[in-house]
Each structure stands twice: as C-alpha cells, then as structure tokens.
Amino acid sequence: MKNIKTVSVHIVTYNSADDITDCLIAVLAQDHPVEQIVVVDNASADGSAAKVSEFYRSIEEAPHTTPSTHLFKPKLILIENKANTGFAPAHNQAIAATDTDYVLVLNPDLVLAEDYVSRLVAQMENNPLIGSATGKLLLKADPSLVDSTGLRMNKARRAFDRGAGEPAADWMESGAVFGVSGAAALYSRRMIKDISVDGEFFDGDFFAYKEDVDVAWRAQLLGWQAYFDAEAIGYHERGWKTAGRSGKSMFIRRISYINRYKMIYKNEPSRTLPLTLIRALPYELAAHAYMLLKEPGLIKAWASFKAQRTELKRKRRYVQEKAACKRN
C-alpha cells in the first residue's frame, strides 16, 4: 500500500434513488483503491439516503460481493441535509469531511469504467501542474455519442461541454483542456487548497450550475492545468440536458443565467475586460432581446447579483491579487 495516492469519491444526491446504486457499484469496482465515499443528500424526497445506507449495509453483511479488485473497503460518510443547499455548498461539505490526496466529484447518474480513477491519478502524478482531470463521458442512452470531454470557453465567456452530442470516435486524443465538467471531475487536494477562497472550493453563492466553470477559470488564473484522458470512460444519464429549457424551473434558469455574470465579474482580469466586452456584445444583445421577449422572468436574477455584490467584489479582489502574485 506504500505510495498509493488516497482518493475519496464525493456524490451529492437529490432525488437520485433510481441511479445511486449503479453509481456506487462502479465506484467500488475501481482498480485504484477508494478510501472514502462521501454522499451528501440534499433533502431528497425519494429515499435516496436510505437507499445509500441500505446498499452499504448489504456490502457489510455480504463481504464477498465486494469487487475482487478492491484492496480495502472504503469508509462511507453519509451527510443528510435538512434542506436542499445546492450542488456547490454540498460538495464543499464533502470536501471538508475528507483529507485525501485526490477528490473525485461525481454525479449520481454517472457510471465509471473500472480504470477511470487510476488513469486520471496516473496522469496527474506524472505532471504536478495538473490540478484537475476528466475522462471521456459518454451518453448512457447512446454510448456512441459524447456527453463531455472537458470544458471550453469562447471569447464571449460562454462555456460548453467539449464534444457534446458528437461521435465518440472523433474524440480519441488526450490533452490539455480549459477545465473539467463537475459530473466526473478528479481534483488534487493541492489545487483545492491553493484556489479555495475563504475555505470554499466551489463558490457557495452559485448554488448550482457553472460552479465547475468558475473553478476551472480560477484554477487557470492561478497557474493550474486541466487534462482530458480519452481512455478513461464514464457513462452519463444527463436527463436534465435532454429535457431542454422548458423542463427546468424558473428558479434553476435564473441561477444558470446569473452565475455566468458572477463568474465573469470575479475572474475576468481588468486588462482583458474591454476586449471581452466587445467580443461578447453581439451575443449579449441577442440573448437579452430573446430574454425580454420570451423569458422576462429571468431579469429578477439580477437581484441576487446585487445582494451578493459586496461578496463578489471581495472574492474578485482575492483571486485577481493572488493571480498577479503567481504571475510575478
């Protein structure tokens, strides 16, 4: 067991009872030992937390069901929140509950190939500047298509999953990426500690959506690299994506909309802001014309930006000053 890097797997559940068992089975089957599994349940109404407990109890009672590749049985930490705190705050809870070398942030509707963790750990150990890594995430409903091969950001500061909906065969080359999707992201503890702001890795004010892009941008500003390994495979249900905008509540749409502007406010360096504003102007005009015509309710999202302006300003100052120190 000497020199084996420790890994914990962090899963946030919210009405995830249909998916969580398959997710946990795949975690237990990893050929790199997992030291801890942390499940944070955000007040699910479908018995998700009970299903996690039941599954783990069945493993305790029948040790022979544990995959033979497993070097030791991971400890389960189950945190049951009384209210839905959101994806970002819940994952911060999980991070605070562990001290492993690596943290795998994993969605409950994702199933990993057994060498997913070992491949990513190997890449990150080979290059200490890599602070985050992901594999090739495929659509569970059609594994010939890509769900995500990491994140990219365009000049208008809009972020996308690389390769989403494209043939998996077109994405065979591993390499550096802007960032990694929070659906199945391996983060080094060194990077987590380095880029956290007031002890928060994910910005808790984001609740959910674009918190992984915010982390990716902040990490890049502070000198960290992200990596995509085309041979590490995961299968993602990604139900919310196929439902389209009409399938999301106005609450969720407002969060997704305003978090982009919070992210830009915190992370865009002053020296690049004028050019970014020019590049983003055509998109902003078109998007806001559509919003005023079709989704005027989104405009209320700016109330949260205004309410958090002082905190956002403080976080921006911290990130930009630290980034300047890193450059110097």
The residue-averaged pLDDT of 27-42 equals 96
Q: Is the pLDDT at 244 greater than 60, yes or no?
A: no
Residue 237 sits in the same domain as residue 321: no
- Predicted confidence at residue 66, as pLDDT, reads 47
Encoded tokens for 183: 């659906």
| CATH number of domain containing 172 | 3.90.550.10
Give residues with Cβ within 8 angstroms of 327, minimum separation 6.
Answer: none
Q: How many domains are contained in the chain?
A: 2
d(CA 139, CA 210): 20
pLDDT, tens digit, 9 for 90 and up, residues 35-65: 999 999 999 999 999 999 999 998 877 655 4
pLDDT score recorded for residue 60: 78
* Per-residue pLDDT at 240: 46
State the residue range of the domain holding 145: 7-243
Residue 1 lies in a domain: no
Burial level of 68, CB count in 10 A (0-12/13-18/19+)? exposed
Please indicate, yes or no, whether residues 202 and 310 belong to a single structural domain of this protein.
no
Residues 173 and 190 in one domain: yes
Q: Which amino acid belongs to residue 23? A: C
Q: Do 155 and 14 fall into the same domain?
A: yes
pLDDT band of 176, cuts 50, 70, 90: very high
Identify the pLDDT of residue 302. 95
**Tokens, residue 190:** 């060194």
* Same domain as 208, residue 309: no
Write down the pTM of the prediction: 0.93
Q: What value does the mean pLDDT of the chain take?
A: 93
Of 55-59, 74-78, 187-191, 247-251, the poorest mean pLDDT is in 247-251
Predicted confidence (pLDDT) per residue in 108-119, tens digit? 999 999 999 999
Q: What confidence tier does 249 reach under pLDDT thresholds 50, 70, 90?
A: confident
